[in-house]
Structure 1
Amino acid sequence: MSSAVYACKEDIQIDTPSIASYQTVEVAYMGDSIPVDITVDGAYPLNTIKTTFFRNDERIAEGIIPANKAGIYHSKLLVPFIKDIADGPAEIQIMVKNKNFNYTTIMVPIQITRPKFPYLTLKTAYGDYKMEPVPGEPYKYAVTEAFPNTKLNALIEAPPYGKNGNSFLFGGATISAYATNKDSIPFQIVRAPGSTFTVSFDTRSFEAAPFLKPSFGGIEFPNFANNIAVIEAEFKQNQLIGLDGIVDIANWWINPSFLSNNGDGTYKFRAIDGKYRITADQALKYFKIEPMAGDALANFDPVRKTGGVWVNGGIGDSDGSAPKERFGIPSMAANPSLWNPQKNVAMAPLGNGVYQIKLIAGQNLFLSNVSGSTVGISFYQNSRSFDNYFALNLVQNLYGSPGQPTSAGGTTRFELKTSIGNVSKDAPIISTVSNRTLGANRTYVFTLDTKVSPAAVTITLE
């Protein structure tokens, strides 16, 4: 790398620091830590020296050099490693500021080049694997092995390159440079254990392989549009459900009403055999699961006691000062229902006319910890309207905190009420009681038995 020393002549006002000279490299590689030496003159005490890296007028990185008086200062500035940026010119801004906040700046031109590493290292729990350059593709690297597992959480390590280079990691569900050792890339392929497959990575585009297409229970989603993808398919009760190809699945909310966690990354489908619509929402990060009848969402069949039962909610019998977002899936904050029938939530049909929904206090359901504010939910027979509701009989309540099944546990936590302002459209509501907290992160199970009239509601804690 070449370097240069520059002397600076500037029109300096009184009380303004001066950059007498600076020295840095003229050419650098992405990923370098380039040395910057600055000589500062000035009669007043200094505050800071800041170095900022710009590319196409966009601030990419910056560093602070502690400074308190005139003199020579040494620092290093990281040249960031960013995808899809071509080799070319960039600028370093050097700013010197004194205690009176007067300052001087200069712009230093620099040429940036993407390195072509001799190799990369795939780092896994099973060991390290050397990734070699792919002929004819200058930034692509690959390794082919009989890896011990077809699910391969890995990091990719780049070696130091050139005089000022650093070793660093590529990683994360959405791959970036400078990852930590916890930001693994979730490579995955469908193969027999012990089969040979190839892992590849491109240091310019950050494209990597292999990844599975997003799927639910082995059924692939079509391409996402506006963060939404939908499948409609038959599922069986107790069917094993794998959630594959969602790289950030650890951040998704998994509906406990329909899916029981097996503890090994798979789930059990709790609802009865039938056709269901599964909507994968990348923005809200959850799967909306809804029963179907033919090509439409299922309404309740009052004769056969089958089909869909739908829940909505929001403010209960008392408004008060708490936020109005009091019920919603996957969270009341991100997607509140607000008594809007277009946001009805499906209960899981368990069979024999019994339906269930599991709600987590503080996530899906208001804690009811604010005096004068309650949350209420109602049960409906239509998927997207309040036209037909269920008359209710609250046969099992909870008392005290944590909730006990008998009144010996303390004061009641839920009541059968009428919604304030008739927001439930005449439907009776199961309402919390003002200022009697449900306890953060407790899972409340609401079970509806439609074989009896009025429908029987049982509330338990999981």
Structure 2
Amino acid sequence: MKNPIITLFLLAGFLAMNACKKEEQKAPGNPVLNTKTEFASAYFGDSLQFTVGVSDDARIPLSTLKARLYYSDELVSETVIRTKAEGDYTGKIYIPYYADVPNGTATLKLVLQNINFTIREETYELPLERPDYPYVTLVAADDTEYRMERTGLYMYTASTSFPAKVNGYIKTPAYGQNGNELTFGWVENAIKEGSTSNIPFSNAFSGNYSITFNTLNYEASPFIIAYAINQTVMDRVDDNTYQVDLALNHEEPVVIDGFEDLDAWWIDPDYFARDASGNLLFQPKAGNYRITADFNREYFIVEALNGSDLATLQTDGSGAVWIIGEGIGKPSVATNAVGWTTEKALCMAPVADKTYQITVVAGTTVTSDNINFKFFHQKGWGGEFTNAALSTTSDLIFVGDGSNGRDPGNLGIAEGQTLEVGATYVLTLDLTGGNDQAVLTVEKK
């Protein structure tokens, strides 16, 4: 048996040693920063490099070194470096480039922390200046680059022969020893740093004109949106879609401005006709309409309105009737079939009170041998015309009843019949007898 006195001494020694270790672990430590970089000044947009020596006088293991940059009292940038051992560490902190921030002095803080959360902090004043670039570059959507020369402090201009519409972003050269290439693009209808989304520059004409950009306030020009109908400027929906709401009268001239190659656009015969001089005349009855220019497909979508909302069919037969389904599409089935996508629903032209029309060309805007579309009360699911409310005497197109090859109200081409490819057909929906007594007529022109 061991001597109990010796055992007690050993136990007491072990407890004392363990207590010392715990005490050592709880010691706060004394982190030491030795900054080896002189922070003289920097430019907005820089990646500022720094080197810092780190240690702890109490030999407590270190945890992190943080570089924090403040504009006034706002933290705008931070770099975190893991400090696994004492020694020198090098890192970079980004100097953010924002609009309308004047030259001034920022605050740079270096924060060293050990594993016991003891902190040592040093603060430096860092004078900042906005770069005065010798030039910037406009990068167009087709990757063509236009050099924008400096024309004044923060002002840049490219003057050359441009198309009327120029989509592109702006980039800068790297500036100074620590500079980065910056980009400016289109975000939520405004120019924003750090983006390469295309800015929709536009002019009233193609040819020689100037595009400008200010690197301080991000003001740019031109945004003359040249797209207008009857002298009302169209609103931009996206790069390829513009729209305008107008009150229009039957046979009223429709003047479209700003469109290049308008003669190449498809003109919907239900809504527009040309007079002897080639001018467009509005064909439906007087009312409020939304005209949307689709630059991808080069045609104008026209939809009836009730106030500022898309029109729906009213109980008295006024309003609008919409087409959804298969085998029909504008400007062609091949490029833009409606299908069962409600967002593509076609608005029939209201040509008279409670009378609606759509003109189609077999093989182009309607398939010649197979259709399966129907009439709806709105641009979407909801009210619709079934065979209980719709009839026709046409020998070309029939109304489905659920047992004749089409769902109730869906239209089909009669068995043994086809539409003549290239021929024009006018489908007219007459609601003068009531919405539950709709009559469809089909006339070949």
- State the TM bucket, normalised to the shorter chain: 0.5 to 0.7
Superposition map of 1:132-211 within 5 A = 132-134=149-151, 137-147=152-162, 149-173=163-187, 174-180=190-196, 183-192=197-206, 195-211=207-223
- Report Cα offsets for 1:202-253 as digits up to 9, x if no partner: 0001111111349665731699xxxxx984332899x999999xxxxxxxxx
Counterpart code for 1:350? A
Matching residue of 1:69: 85
Counterpart code for 1:377? G
Counterpart code for 1:140? M
Matching residue of 2:233: 220
1:117 is aligned to 2:116: no
Which of 117-126 and 70-79 deviates more?
117-126
Q: Report % sequence identity.
A: 24
Counterpart code for 1:164? N
Question: 1:202 and 1:456, CA in 2 relative to 1: closer, same or farther beyond 3 A?
Answer: same
SS in 2 for 1:307: coil
TM-score with structure 1 setting the length:
0.53
Question: 1:393 and 1:50, CA in 2 relative to 1: closer, same or farther beyond 3 A?
Answer: farther
Counterpart code for 1:127? T
C-alpha separation between the residues in 1 aligned to 2:437 and 2:101? 62
Please, which of 437, 451, 454 is the counterpart of residue 436 of structure 2?
454
CA contact (8 A) 1:241 1:269 kept: no
C-alpha separation between the residues in 1 aligned to 2:387 and 2:30? 77
CA contact (8 A) 1:270 1:350 kept: no
Matching residue of 2:421: none
TM-score with structure 2 setting the length:
0.54
- Report Cα offsets for 1:247-286 as digits up to 9, x if no partner: xxxxxxxxxxxxxxx9x9x897798534325599xxxxxx
- Report Cα offsets for 1:115-152 as digits up to 9, x if no partner: 11111122233632221121xx31111011012x2221
Superposition map of 1:10-49 within 5 A = 14-15=28-29, 17-42=31-56, 43-49=59-65
CA contact (8 A) 1:144 1:199 kept: yes
Q: Find the structure with the greater CA-based Rg.
A: 2
CA contact (8 A) 2:61 2:84 kept: yes
CA shift for structure 1 position 44: 3.7
Counterpart code for 1:139? Y
- Report Cα offsets for 1:147-199 as digits up to 9, x if no partner: 2x22212222212222222222222343222334xx2222111214xx10101
Question: 1:92 and 1:268, CA in 2 relative to 1: closer, same or farther beyond 3 A?
Answer: farther
Higher helix share: 2
Counterpart code for 2:161? A
CA contact (8 A) 1:448 1:456 kept: no
RMSD: 5.1
Counterpart code for 1:81? Y
1:275 is aligned to 2:311: no
C-alpha separation between the residues in 2 aligned to 1:17 and 1:231? 68
Question: 1:59 and 1:453, CA in 2 relative to 1: closer, same or farther beyond 3 A?
Answer: same
Question: 1:291 and 1:106, CA in 2 relative to 1: closer, same or farther beyond 3 A?
Answer: same
CA shift for structure 1 position 48: 3.0
C-alpha separation between the residues in 2 aligned to 1:126 and 1:73? 41
CA shift for structure 1 position 347: 8.7
Question: 1:113 and 1:268, CA in 2 relative to 1: closer, same or farther beyond 3 A?
Answer: farther
CA shift for structure 1 position 55: 0.5
Question: 1:95 and 1:378, CA in 2 relative to 1: closer, same or farther beyond 3 A?
Answer: farther
